[in-house]
Copies of this chain bind each other. A is one copy, B any other.
């Protein structure tokens, strides 16, 4: 496919480009500036001195993957990752087929937009179709099936096996993102970095990797050891930073804050990431209504300042 060949060339070019300057590894994720179009977000990131952007598929779909990649490159930036694939915990045939089709589209989009890193949020329990009350079961068997976390997690392993050859053919890595256990029911049955690495273990490190987002993993007593393991295995595909703020927002997904506004020890975690040999981009991905409502330049300037003060010294 011409598009894929072209994007493979672009990827090679960006991967050999040096990360230079103080913000040479800083990437603005478009989720931090959710109200902006892709062009506006890319312009804001460039003005703040960022070197890359992490893209969500909704921003890519605005203009199409080829045009999206060009917008980023024309601004002199890299695409550090594409989000979100996954959501493939369905147990029925139609749900599985639909999820696989969408995930294959996401793989092609990642290759086209110029990122080798496609972030997977794996999905929640069958009892859930998103945040809200559990489905009322018709029978005891249905109740159990709807809530069976062990089987649901096995289906995640099965879907990775289904997708891995297709992703590998396109030069795109399946990047498994563990989500905070607060989201296990409705968003991701993948809850720890260790669990992600266990799922990745059967595959080469350039086929299945992991994303490490401080918000999701900072609480984990096994974090230092699992970051070291992820580094030794060559699987750290993305390091994402934002803070855990309290009180939680009504939608806990929006409870993320600027680094320094909450409880996370960025010094220790970033030192562990560095010790694990990670030299890639650092994405700032903050879902927060107040930040979405704020002036773009204030947001990107704050992102750059907090990164410089709290993360960069330990990279």
Q: Is A268 in contact with B148, judged by CB distance below 8 angstroms?
A: yes
A312 → chain B closest CB, angstroms: 13
A174 → chain B closest CB, angstroms: 18
Within 8 A of B (CB), among A167-226: 180-182, 184-186, 191-192, 194-195, 218-222, 224
Asked if A21 CB lies within 8 Å of chain B CBs, one says: no
This chain's copy number in the assembly:
2
How far, in angstroms, from A192 to B181 measured CA to CA in the complex? 11
Residue of B nearest to A127 (CB): B263
Tally of chain A residues near chain B (CB < 8 A)? 46
Asked if A261 CB lies within 8 Å of chain B CBs, one says: yes
A157 → chain B closest CB, angstroms: 12
A252 CB contacts on chain B under 8 angstroms: 182, 248, 252
Asked if A163 CB lies within 8 Å of chain B CBs, one says: no
Asked if A150 CB lies within 8 Å of chain B CBs, one says: yes
Asked if A278 CB lies within 8 Å of chain B CBs, one says: no
Residue of B nearest to A148 (CB): B265
Closest 4 CB pairs of A and B: A184-B219, A181-B219, A185-B263, A147-B265
| Residue contacts A-B, CB under 8 angstroms, 24 given | A127-B263, A128-B263, A131-B247, A132-B246, A132-B247, A147-B263, A149-B218, A180-B181, A180-B182, A181-B181, A181-B220, A182-B182, A182-B252, A184-B218, A184-B263, A185-B244, A185-B246, A185-B263, A186-B246, A191-B219, A191-B221, A192-B220, A194-B222, A248-B248
